[in-house]
Amino acid sequence: MARTYATRAAAPRAGTRRSRNASTDIEPTDIDPTKVDPSKTDPAKFDRTAVGATLAAARAAQELNLKRGEFELAVHLGIVRITVAEAGGRPRVSREEIDRLRSGDGFPDAVRERVRTVGTAEGARLLGISPVRFTRLARAGCITPVAFCLNRYRAIVWLYLAQELLGFAAGAPQLLTGNSPAWMRTCLGAGTDWRTRNWRSHRIERLLRGTEDPWARAAVLACALDPVQLAEVVDDPHERAYLRKVQPGPVFGPPGSVAARDTVTQLMRADDPDEILWRRVNLDLELDSAREARPAPHPGDGRRPGPDCSVPVSVPIQPTVRDPAPVQVAGLLTRLGRISK
């Protein structure tokens, strides 16, 4: 009985599914690599984040061997050109742009070096000066931060481009040694700190260079004003809502941390009277250009009838009044008579 059982187990039954290795008639070594369609083996063709000839930001950063912050800075500096989505979606990167950067000399180290940032301590070592002197140069406006981050205490930590620091050292070596000039001592003695204002100005200028839409340009300038100042310049609430809608945002969307979002909003707003006036004037001029290009949409614009459209007039329906049911007088008198008795 045992031998019969083994024989039955060894013999495959008809109609059973064959193993994965036996599901094909050829071995992998029989495939000719020269006859394989390259388009079917390209990883980008199977990438779910790729639509057409563009890639999502996350996929593009992976292709360029850049971290999230490095890729955002590369887009902000114009190193990576993006394609703005028309339907309000996230910006994307074309395949041609990825190929252009990957074919450059020294990739990927050359691209990462262009977006390398350093803090105060590392920047001071890069320039060969003390951190105190580095901070004095930054507060006086000699060097401008390009980004910032928040430490564990939610304090702002300014970051600087390493290439810009080396260029500053080559152009102004006299500020790295010896006594500080008189104008710097006067500026620092008055408590002036140009880091936030210079960061804001450079950021606004780069955002303006990245768009040609007049309403988007006005939205960039509107970020520098608080709600009260903005309402005085843009009195139409629908225009203010449209400015918030078309405002250029980060490549990966707004920061996930509430503290980071609040810090960006606070740093983008002008706090000096002369800068506030300058931003108001520029916003007013940009709004004139935007209104000439196209008006801001208002609620119900798509449903408003044109001048030649006839609006049907509804005829009020007269309510139907029913006659009251007849009262049986005889029966009522009989019941009243019974009650009186």
Report pLDDT digits (tens) over 54-65: 899 999 999 999
Helix boundaries (H) for the chain? 2-10, 38-41, 57-63, 68-76, 95-102, 109-114, 120-127, 131-139, 162-171, 182-189, 195-209, 214-222, 227-233, 237-245, 258-268, 273-293, 329-340
Residue whose C-alpha is closest to residue 71's, from 87, 53, 55, 48: 55
pTM confidence score: 0.72
Residue whose C-alpha is closest to residue 158's, from 143, 168, 148: 148
pLDDT of 83: 84
Mean pLDDT along residues 16-43:
41
Collapsing DSSP states into helix, strand and coil, what is residue 139? helix
pLDDT tier, 300 (very low <50, low <70, confident <90, very high otherwise): confident
pLDDT of 329: 46
The two tokens of residue 321 are 């009044």
**9 or 256, higher pLDDT:** 256
pLDDT of 258: 85
pLDDT of 336: 46
Q: Using alpha carbons only, give the angle 149, 150, 154 rounded to the nearest 5 degrees.
A: 165
**103 or 46, higher pLDDT:** 103
Q: Is the pLDDT of residue 98 over 90?
A: yes
Percentage of the chain lying above the pLDDT 70 cut: 71
Alpha-carbon distance of 325 to 327, in angstroms, equals 6
Q: Give tens-digit pLDDT for 103-147.
A: 999 999 999 999 999 999 999 999 999 999 999 999 999 999 999
Residue whose C-alpha is closest to residue 208's, from 164, 247, 251, 260: 247
Highest mean pLDDT among 38-42, 47-51, 287-291, 321-325: 287-291
The two tokens of residue 121 are 């301590």
**193 or 316, higher pLDDT:** 193
Q: Give tens-digit pLDDT for 246-296.
A: 988 887 777 767 888 899 999 999 999 999 999 999 999 999 999 999 999
Mean pLDDT along residues 215-226:
95
The two tokens of residue 85 are 């989505």
pLDDT tier, 96 (very low <50, low <70, confident <90, very high otherwise): very high
CB proximity list for 155: less than 8 A, separation 6 or greater: none
The two tokens of residue 47 are 């990438």
Q: Using alpha carbons only, give the angle 83, 222, 137 rounded to the nearest 5 degrees.
A: 90
pLDDT of 84: 74
CB proximity list for 126: less than 8 A, separation 6 or greater: 118, 162, 165, 166
Q: Is the pLDDT of residue 21 over 50?
A: no
Q: Is the pLDDT of residue 102 over 80?
A: yes
Residue in the structure block whose two tokens are 């629908």: 238
Classify 65 in phi/psi space as left (phi over 0), alpha (psi -120 to 50) or beta: left
